Amino acid sequence: DWTAGNVVAEQVAAVRAQVGDARVICGLSGGVDSAVAAALVQRAVGDQLTCVFVDHGLLRRGEAEQVEKDFVAATGVRLVVVDAREQFLGALAGVTDPETKRKIIGREFIRSFEAAARDLVAESGASGEEVRFLVQGTLYPDVVESGGGEGAANIKSHHNVGGLPDDLQFELVEPLRTLFKDEVRAVGLELGLPEGIVWRQPFPGPGLGIRIIGEVTAERLEVLRAADAIARQELTLAGLDRTIWQCPVVLLADVRSVGVQGDGRTYGHPVVLRPVSSEDAMTADWTRVPYDVLARISSRITNEVREVNRVVLDVTSKPPGTIEWE
C-alpha cells in the first residue's frame, strides 16, 4: 500500500543502510523537494547531516532569508550558507544557450557543495572525517525529463540530474527519486514540516537564470526580481496560490519594443507571465487567471519597473510548451 508513512519508513531504512555512519551534506534550494529530502535524511541519520544553502544570486526576492529562517526553525537542522553570487554570475557571463546555462549552474552547485564540504572537514579539526554523501531532492519527473527514464528523450537537463559534472566527488543520496510532487508533499507533512514549506510552489534550482532569455547579468536579475515580486504578491492577494501550480515570470532581455510611459517614448523589455495549472509538472495547462488580476499585475509592473514597458501572457499548454521557457 502506498502511504506516506510507509515511504518514510522505507526511505529512512534505505538511507541508513546507504550512509552508515558517514557524514552527509544536503543542498537546500528553498523548494519543497530539497526540504523534504533533508527532513527525511535528518530523520534517518540526525547529526551526520549538514544542510548547505547556496545563494547563487539567481533567487527571487526574500528567498535566501526565508530558507535561513523557516527551514531551520522547523527542523533545527545545522545550516551553512554559501555566498556564491559572484561565482555563478561569472560562470554565466556571455552564455545564452539554455542547456549550456543549465550545465554551468549544475556544475557550479557541485563546486559550491565541494567547497562547503572541505570547510566542514577543516572546521572539525584533525579528527575531521570527509563528507562522502550528497543528498538531492530529485523527483521522478526530473529523472524522466533529463533523459534518465525508460525511453525518455532529453527534454531539458534538470540541474540536479543531467547537469551534474562527470568528476563528481560525492555519492548521491536521492530518497525521492521515485516520487511525484503530490507524494513528496504528503511525505513532507508526514515528517511534520509546516504547510508553508510543504505547499510552496515549485521553483527550479537554476532559478531566475533560466527565466532571462538571453545573457544573465546582475542588472537583468534585478529587473526580473522586481517584476516577479509584484506578480507573486498580486496572485497571493487574489487567493490563487493553490489554484496555480507556479507562475514563472520571464524577462525577454534581448527583445525590445516601443512604448510610452509618462511623457516619453520608451524602448523597453517585455516580461511574460506564465501561470500554469498542473498535477505533476509532466503536463500543464495555462491558468485562466481573472482579467482584473492580470490587469493589476500588468499596470503595477509597467509603473514600478522602469525597464519593462510591456506585459504579455503565455497561453500555451504543456505540451507543446514546457513550463519554464528554457
33 is in an annotated binding site: yes
34 is in an annotated binding site: yes
Report H helices in 61-132.
Answer: 63-66, 72-75, 85-92, 98-123
Binding mask 217-256 for ligand XMP (x = CB under 6 A): -----------------------------x----------
Range in contact with ligand XMP (rule: CB under 6 A) among 15-23, 47-55, 302-310, 317-325: 317-325
Footprint (CB under 6 A) of ligand XMP, residues 93-132 = 102
Q: How far is the CB of 122 from ligand XMP (least distance, A)?
A: 29
Is residue 204 involved in binding ligand XMP (CB under 6 A)?
yes
Among 145, 183, 228, 234, binds ligand XMP (CB under 6 A): 145
Is residue 318 involved in binding ligand XMP (CB under 6 A)?
yes
Is residue 23 involved in binding ligand XMP (CB under 6 A)?
no
Cell, residue 80: 551553512
35 is in an annotated binding site: yes
Dihedral angle sign, alpha carbons of residues 259, 260, 264, 269: negative
Footprint (CB under 6 A) of ligand XMP, residues 278-307 = 281
CA atoms of 243 and 256, how far apart (whole Å):
32
CA atoms of 57 and 90, how far apart (whole Å):
11
Dihedral angle sign, alpha carbons of residues 222, 227, 231, 234: positive
Is residue 202 involved in binding ligand XMP (CB under 6 A)?
yes
Range in contact with ligand XMP (rule: CB under 6 A) among 58-66, 108-116, 152-160, 220-228: 152-160
Torsion of CA 133, 139, 141, 147, to 10 degrees: 10
Is residue 323 involved in binding ligand XMP (CB under 6 A)?
yes
Is residue 322 involved in binding ligand XMP (CB under 6 A)?
yes
DSSP string, 95-107: ---HHHHHHHHHH
The distance from CA 316 to its chain's CA centroid, rounded to whole angstroms, is 22
Q: How far is the CB of 148 from ligand XMP (least distance, A)?
A: 13
Q: How far is the CB of 205 from ligand XMP (least distance, A)?
A: 4
- Look at phi and psi of residue 324 and say left if phi exceeds 0, alpha if psi is from -120 to 50, else beta: beta
Annotated binding residues for ATP, written as ranges, equal: 29-35
